[in-house]
Structure 1
């Protein structure tokens, strides 16, 4: 597959990526090499990755516990301390091998350690391949609030090897699929339509769908690297989705949702908002709702869940001057950003979701 040129860094696929990493290691005089993994990727992905590296550098592995609950500043502090103890300097290279938590956190660690060291992303989950590792966003959660602390800083390259997906459970695959569905809804109607009947998808050729998803996100980010305008389109489904994800994360009596599970709900809810702002028609909304519900298990919302979810919306990063702003779809394949929505309509969206 042909590499994709992002904003000052390349995205390589499969074998070409390993060739690129080894060439990068050869051409740059790094002092040492650190690979950040979580407990899952240390066990399942590192044994595949290490043998393909061609370098005489001493390689140090830094592992932290897997899970969104560990994507916080405390984990960063621990990793910064380990880097310091192991002699990391400005000429060190960090490779982040893992899912979205690893690439988000590892990119933030690298971007801030000694005011920034080089890093490379090697995403190992579908979600990280099509979303988290592409675009230069790095960061951590603040308590239960998603991605409140972070920077936009690009890696030296991204390596997408779809062999790692063989280690990913089905629920994690569905989580990543939500971002692919989003890319179709906001940018490419034909791409969205390929997912209307999952039985017809040839998963042996899934690489092509992943490639297109990365291409869509990259095309949007290239137009607006720092999210001042059209990049906000990528937040479709995320304004409510992140609030739902945060609420379920902080409540012990709720089962923690995967990112894509929350975003799937968010896309249905925000499609309802699009419908009632006359941006899509009822046929389009029905297609979106039924297609997403066919893939994802319904999330149960009690009456007393909705108010605290709405209260979390004020922390969404797109908000300006205290106003909650949505990126809504204007027909399938198009987007309209900076849309204000009153709480009464959001409540109706939740009622419709439950119906």
Structure 2
């Protein structure tokens, strides 16, 4: 498990000094270069910046080729260190490129969005999208360290905070009823370091029990079968959603499936949907898109033997996994989003 540090950004200087490396590279996109790099630049030793274009649509092999080419042209060896500075796309793709370059170099994640702090940068999953399928190619590859600091939230627009909030709410729904309520009481606009730390600890506990997602770790995917499908379907359109915005909708739909399977009672379902619908709006989904969304659900990594398999809620604060779900029920769940 990667060591997660909840420290001031100045801690980065000591962290780097504790590591031996031949060259330091900093992976950024245009947003993290402009808004976040100035916050850490003074704490870096000699380094080279690698810049890619931001956004999920650029989380591809083409972007990986740019990163690998930059490392190669700089004659980076296996003792090089890559520092991933950005949101989930940067940490996912940077970790994947580090894990595959010359069979693996070390990397540090400095997540700069709420989503990447509580989800994407923790848990060793790295990867890219392929042929329109979310995180279709990837590795389990641990970061050398993760540095989390809420200072970066000051650089974020509202929708980025809403996106990260979805994953925090999810952590409460699947494993910690009190955390769900604490997040609701707090709202999404001003998170304390303590609340972020607790959300990370929930995920760490699950990942530690099942590092390569053979069992209990699958509960972290609640909301993600339908959420990923919606996110992918809308990705290259004017209606594109951030990851957490799509997961918010996925949780509403999959809560309905949980109720339909007799796992959630009506009161729990109503509580969950009423709270989520205050924030996550579904106006971008049309009935004509159902067949495509279901097709995308069939590519989900949790599936087995040709059956769509989901992680569902067994109450607020408890989840189950490997539950087979029929296509007709997915259609009914999507109707709940209209």
With normalisation by structure 2, the TM-score equals 0.97
Q: Which residue of 2 aligns with 1:105?
A: 93
- Once superposed, what is the RMSD of the aligned Cα atoms? 1.5
Q: Which residue of 2 aligns with 1:246?
A: 232
Question: 1:257-336 residue pairs with structure 2 within 5 A?
Answer: 257-336=241-320
Paired with 2:50 and 2:218, the residues of 1 have a C-alpha distance of 33
Matched, 1:62 2:50: yes
Matched residue count = 338
Q: Which residue of 1 aligns with 2:5?
A: 12
Paired with 1:180 and 1:202, the residues of 2 have a C-alpha distance of 13
Q: Which residue of 2 aligns with 1:193?
A: 181
Matched, 1:182 2:170: yes
Paired with 2:220 and 2:48, the residues of 1 have a C-alpha distance of 35
8 Å Cα contact 2:149-2:193 kept in structure 1 = no
Q: Which residue of 2 aligns with 1:139?
A: 127
8 Å Cα contact 1:18-1:159 kept in structure 2 = no
Paired with 1:196 and 1:99, the residues of 2 have a C-alpha distance of 23
Paired with 1:324 and 1:97, the residues of 2 have a C-alpha distance of 35
Paired with 1:135 and 1:87, the residues of 2 have a C-alpha distance of 29
**Could you report, residue by residue, the CA deviation over 1:100-154 in whole angstroms, capped at 9, with x for unpaired residues?**
0000000001000010001000000000000000000010000321000000010
Q: 1:208 aligns with which of 177, 183, 194?
A: 194
Moved over 4 A (4+): none
Shift of 1:197: 4.4
Paired with 1:29 and 1:307, the residues of 2 have a C-alpha distance of 52
**Could you report, residue by residue, the CA deviation over 1:257-291 in whole angstroms, capped at 9, with x for unpaired residues?**
11111100100000000001111111110111110
Paired with 1:176 and 1:66, the residues of 2 have a C-alpha distance of 17
8 Å Cα contact 1:14-1:162 kept in structure 2 = no
Q: 1:51 aligns with which of 42, 55, 77?
A: 42
8 Å Cα contact 2:87-2:111 kept in structure 1 = yes
Paired with 2:333 and 2:167, the residues of 1 have a C-alpha distance of 21
Matched, 1:115 2:71: no
Paired with 1:111 and 1:18, the residues of 2 have a C-alpha distance of 27
Matched, 1:22 2:8: no
**Structure 2 gaps, min length 5:** none
Q: Which residue of 1 aligns with 2:212?
A: 226
Shift of 1:195: 3.2
Paired with 2:15 and 2:285, the residues of 1 have a C-alpha distance of 49
With normalisation by structure 1, the TM-score equals 0.92
Shift of 1:300: 3.2
8 Å Cα contact 2:111-2:117 kept in structure 1 = yes
8 Å Cα contact 1:12-1:159 kept in structure 2 = yes
